[in-house]
């Protein structure tokens, strides 16, 4: 059973546009929600993370929006660039990230010039 559901599976965005990836979870014990970026042949790299006591977190062009009541969170990439083309994974964990991560199935983002 997939603990974290992610959509869309793939996304094509024009350079300068906004990329939006959505995730949903069921387990209310989750208290740490990171987003990872992965390039082919590389390990995932942390992009940004949020805890459920805030509804939004912004770091540069990346923003997480978090809706605790709906059990949903999303990643927004503003001013998308070709270098952002990668696979993005949302994840969730209990114990403030100390425990294992449950990952979504990933979104392959392609930013076209």
Residue 89: closest CA among 71, 108, 64: 108
Q: Is-cis flag, bond preceding 36, omega within 30?
A: no
* 36 near another protein (CB under 8 A): yes
Report the site for another protein in 41-100 (rule: CB under 8 A): 41-46, 49, 89, 91, 95-100
In whole angstroms, how close is the CB of 30 to another protein at the nearest point? Answer: 13
Give phi and psi for 71, each to the nearest 5: 55, 50
Q: Which residues bind another protein (CB under 8 A)?
A: 6, 32, 34, 36, 41-46, 49, 89, 91, 95-106
């Amino acid at each position: 059973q997939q603990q974290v559901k992610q959509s869309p599976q793939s996304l094509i965005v024009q350079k300068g546009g906004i990329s939006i990836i959505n995730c949903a979870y069921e387990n209310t014990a989750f208290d740490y929600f990171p987003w990872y970026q992965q390039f082919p042949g590389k390990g995932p790299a942390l992009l940004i993370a949020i805890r459920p006591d805030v509804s939004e977190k912004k770091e540069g062009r990346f923003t997480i929006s978090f809706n605790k009541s709906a059990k949903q969170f999303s990643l927004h990439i503003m001013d998308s660039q070709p270098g952002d083309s990668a696979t993005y994974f949302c994840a969730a964990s209990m114990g403030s990230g100390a425990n294992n991560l449950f990952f979504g199935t990933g979104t392959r983002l392609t930013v076209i010039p």
